[in-house]
Chains A and B, each alone.
Chain A
């Protein structure tokens, strides 16, 4: 497996008047070519900021800290000049967002907005770009695209708008598609349709996907690999089967058991993670999960654990320093 995207020690901080928000504070993750990595974590754990950092869309007061690396296709994006970055952004790496209702410009037709993505990276005239836009709309399952290219966003439903977003994102055959909670804002039935569409397109086009979600059901549905984020860091990574069957980090374990559908059985009743996510203004010292962890001991509260390799997984828990930890996973994965 070749790494398409390799993020190493990514730290993105926001310098505000109320202090420094260390929203992303040492994230390591890898997306392999043609595979889907799901990033899961509670809200506020830094998932969106990680994605925007990869896209190079972090604005002041946010700043990617020196020492971070975002290696895409062998090149460190953080060392590229803006011009070259822009030619990668929207062509090789594209992104779709959580809110299809507000993510499209209300004063332009959807056809124009798809064609705009085509024209940003291809030397085509307006007519050629429009034809490509129709083709893309057909690809993402929008009925009668010749007519609907003239629609404005407000004339479409949330699901249709998200299809438009996907169409624009696929316009230049990207190597990597980043999807930041693309179904969270949609109705359940529409969610399923969009996930189905994304799976179908991935299989047909071979695009690698970095999918952000806080929904473990979506992970079960989509992921090849998983990265679990907590408090600005990745605490566990591995293949979806490994992570679901043998979670190595107590946070992952707790997360799996807090979802009714996935973790419930007589031996493992539904569990709630006690306490609250800490603030990025003031992360706890030591392991950031320690204050909420039922297995924490003295060292956890003093020293930040690195990612230990456990078989094919990696886990940032002191209990994994000397190998696999006995843990309760989820036997049945709903796929």
Chain B
């Protein structure tokens, strides 16, 4: 297992280099002069020129690129043009908020999504299945910002039960978590339903029933356990979606995470911070997929023993 993990991490290195290259190039492609944005609307031409030289924006793009990659190789993500702080420090300060939000949303989505999927499969073609299928279509087709705004209007503005922004209290976590998990709940419940329906038709389920095992045990012990296998993979694969949703969710709820840092930095043409944040997202995605593969191997003995 250790060998496998090491190999996967080594394969991740070229991927990360690719991400760094692409994010660097994308930032040079978007319109807007970073020095001018940084200097502010009232700055003189001389000020702008000073800033340009200070951050190396006056150098040819190729030189800037080589500089950046060179520093990256030593683990230095650079300094933010906007605040002058270390990008790494800024990211580390905000990382816990984003990780917490992503973990909570994933947990909620797995819990609710799997439960709904199992119920829909067990009550197949019944009323519950119909209602739940409708709900999950609703879940996957509602844009994140729309869900977020609706929740804010209902629970913050109209009912006044929950804060609309900030991460100061535990109540502040509720709306962003629900918003972010909405899509994933719909997604996972559909995957779980179809995996369950398929599993319930399998020969070994008939064997278990022939043993006289109670129906609930057939479903929970055997069907759910087997149906979970493909769903675990799917959870890893849609984690990218979740990160995209996190950017939007953090913006709506003024969440002090990396997603909002990313949006703010793009607005400020803060190249180094944007590139750093994208790199962190890429690392997260790679780690989560590695993790789901490990979990998969752990719960599927056919893979564990090969």
Contact = CB atoms under 8 A, between A and B. Distances in A.
- Per DSSP, are chain B's interface residues mostly helix, strand or loop, or mixed? helix
B202 A90 contact: no
A270 B178 CA distance: 73
A96 to B, nearest CB: 8
Contact of B204 (A88, A89, A95, A104): A104
Contact of B305 (A97, A121, A155): A155
A83 to B, nearest CB: 9
Given A152-B301, A155-B305, A95 B210 contact: yes
Contacts of A120: 211-214
Interface string A102-120: 1111111000000011001
A155 B301 CA distance: 10
Interface in A130-161: 152, 154-155
Given A105-B226, A107-B226, A152-B301, A90 B203 contact: no
A102 B302 contact: no
Contacts of B203: 97, 99, 102-103
B301 A57 contact: no
A55 interface: yes
Interface residues of B, number: 21
A154 B299 CA distance: 14
Contacts of A152: 301-302, 305
B241 interface: no
Interface string B9-23: 000000000000000
The interface size bin for chain A is 20 to 34
Given A102-B202, A106-B302, A165 B207 contact: yes
A45 interface: no
Contact of A104 (B207, B214, B229, B305): B207
A47 interface: no
Given A90-B210, A116-B213, A154-B301, 13 more contacts: A57-B209, A88-B212, A90-B211, A90-B212, A103-B207, A104-B204, A107-B299, A107-B300, A116-B211, A120-B212, A121-B212, A152-B305, A154-B302
Interface of A: 55, 57, 86-91, 94-95, 97, 99, 102-108, 116-117, 120-121, 152, 154-155, 165, 168
Interface of B: 202-204, 206-214, 222, 225-226, 229, 299-302, 305
18 contacts: A55-B210, A57-B210, A86-B214, A87-B212, A89-B210, A89-B212, A90-B211, A91-B212, A95-B210, A99-B203, A105-B208, A105-B226, A106-B204, A106-B300, A106-B301, A154-B305, A165-B207, A168-B211
